[in-house]
Structure 1
Amino acid sequence: MSRVLESDEAVAQKALRLLELTSLNADDTTERIIALCERALTPVGNVAAVCVLPRFAGLARRTLDDLLAREVKVVAAVNFPNGGASISTVESETRAAMLTGADEIDLVYPFHAQLGGDKTVGGDMIAACKAKCGRRGLLTVTLETGVLRDPQIIHQVCRTAIREGASFLKTSTGKQVVSATPQAARILIEAIAELGAQVGFKASGNVRTLSEARIYLDVVQNRFGPFWLEPGRVRLGGASLLDDLLAHLGVRP
């Protein structure tokens, strides 16, 4: 009952510390990434992470360190956004990102290969990427659930990702027509619960407002309880969500 009555302000504060602030555009610049890192530090608290393309991982880490925000993680998105099937490309991107300062890697699962009938490249790619992350690097696997569509296929891919060492399962890149949905989120969360794994959940794509964020936080809480709402377990990915959260917290742009 307390969750139902929770104020918008309280939910916004929770969502803020779970936010993974993203800039994943082909035309991103040094100035844009520096501005992203500066936005990650707000008057009402810092976000959990920033997510950038691999070539900006070092810049993001240095900028956050200069801002005395070492606790804000830098996530580098590899195999983004098209989810290709080249394992060597993923290994190269991952190695470079980790060497230059990434704390975590976000791997786009080779969803086209999966739909084309290749049931092995996905697992092999995750295992190879995990090896390049090293012992300290966390690995997110982005499933592109809006393209995979079939609940059985999504569930199968979840099991593969968990088996090969994923630290988080993520709904989507946000670059497809269909992105995150509550239904897809439930499939990911049930797979995590079913396997009893210490794997977190990320919602990304169509998470632009507090009301949308609340939906996904409720999905998590309904299955695992409120203690799960911490950055090591749950993240909300997006570029525009921060503005809406700050508005609800009384912070003017």
Structure 2
Amino acid sequence: MTEQHNNAHLAVSLMDLTSLNTADTSNDIKQLVESINPQLGTPAAVCVYSDFVDDAKIALAARELNHVKVATVTNFPTGDAPLSDVINETLIAIERGADEIDLVIPYKALIAGDENTVLEYIQQSKKACGTQAKLKVIIESGELKTEALITKATNLAIQGGADFVKTSTGKVAVNATLEVTKVMLSAIKQSGKVVGFKAAGGVKTIADAKEYLALTRSIMGDDYLQADTFRFGASSLLSDVYKALEK
């Protein structure tokens, strides 16, 4: 197997295949699941709006892909919802069968210097997830901009009990970048805790994915590159990867 082939295989297994469009319908989610070709590899999860968690579960079960997790988003995408709404959203999503909750922190509060609010959103969401769902915390790095704020947000996510720290919603001007990945992974490494990392938004090709994999390997080591600790949030990456694997 070539290096490209290996990278492609690995990228599929670490992917959160995502559809978070405001116009999504049940049929779109069904088509998303149908785009998975198990012979070429299955993603770690599909990530959809909470209203479609049921649809995703049913579509995966119909194709005997029950091992693929279903993730959803809360406080998405602006990070502005009241905490009580966010917790309510979380509990409903888990009731619908969500395995993973991707929470957007109130990042504007963090920019304004209010760390306590951010920590509370993370801790309360973690509590709501209990043992039923993993918590992935979206810090919206493109809006935080500075290394200091990105590091602070990553540390707050770890402190609050996040299972993963995720770069972005994919809904702002700047999403995942290699520079930000380096900052976030370094913070995770320094914490000494086992916390995952998710690069979301802008990872569209195997060439993109390869750079993230290489950077992550250099900071965290080979063992970190598994679905329990590393994910790509992507919508168009799957087709590029499958193209390479079909060759």
TM more than 0.5: yes
Structure 2 counterpart of 1:62, one-letter code? I
Instruction: Tell me which of 143, 155, 162 is aligned to 2:158.
Output: 162
Alpha-carbon distance in structure 2 between the residues aligned to 1:66 and 1:40: 13
Indicate conservation of the 8 Å contact 1:54/1:97, yes or no: yes
Residue 5 of structure 2 corresponds to residue 9 of structure 1: yes
Tell me which moved more, 63-72 or 235-244. 63-72
**Which residue matches 1:220?**
216
Indicate conservation of the 8 Å contact 1:144/1:171, yes or no: yes
**Which residue matches 1:235?**
231
SS of structure 2 residue aligned to 1:8: helix
Alpha-carbon distance in structure 1 between the residues aligned to 2:2 and 2:51: 40
Instruction: Tell me which of 127, 131, 142 is aligned to 2:127.
Output: 131
Tell me which moved more, 34-43 or 127-136. 34-43
Aligned pairs (5 A) from 1:170-185: 170-185=166-181
Residue 95 of structure 2 corresponds to residue 102 of structure 1: no
Structure 1 counterpart of 2:72, one-letter code? A
Residue 117 of structure 2 corresponds to residue 121 of structure 1: yes
Structure 1 counterpart of 2:59, one-letter code? T
Post-superposition offset of 1:6: 5.9
TM-score by length of 2: 0.96
**Which residue matches 1:141?**
137
Structure 1 counterpart of 2:34, one-letter code? E
Structure 1 unmatched runs, 5+: none
Aligned pairs (5 A) from 1:28-43: 28-43=24-39
Structure 1 counterpart of 2:128, one-letter code? K
Post-superposition offset of 1:53: 0.7
Alpha-carbon distance in structure 1 between the residues aligned to 2:147 and 2:118: 17
Indicate conservation of the 8 Å contact 2:94/2:132, yes or no: no
User: What's the % identity of the aligned pairs?
Assistant: 38
Alpha-carbon distance in structure 2 between the residues aligned to 1:43 and 1:71: 15
Structure 2 unmatched runs, 5+: none
**Which residue matches 2:76?**
80
**Which residue matches 1:62?**
58
Indicate conservation of the 8 Å contact 2:106/2:117, yes or no: yes
Moved over 4 A (4+): none
Alpha-carbon distance in structure 2 between the residues aligned to 1:117 and 1:238: 31
Indicate conservation of the 8 Å contact 1:141/1:169, yes or no: yes
Instruction: Tell me which of 243, 247, 250 is aligned to 2:246.
Output: 250
**Which residue matches 1:187?**
183
Alignment length (residue pairs): 247
Post-superposition offset of 1:85: 4.6
Post-superposition offset of 1:89: 1.3
Residue 198 of structure 2 corresponds to residue 202 of structure 1: yes
Residues 85 and 156 of structure 1, relative CA distance in 2, 3 Å threshold: farther
Tell me which moved more, 80-89 or 173-182. 80-89
Alpha-carbon distance in structure 1 between the residues aligned to 2:151 and 2:53: 31
After superposition, the CA RMSD in angstroms is: 1.4
Indicate conservation of the 8 Å contact 1:40/1:50, yes or no: no
Alpha-carbon distance in structure 1 between the residues aligned to 2:57 and 2:235: 18
Post-superposition offset of 1:199: 0.4
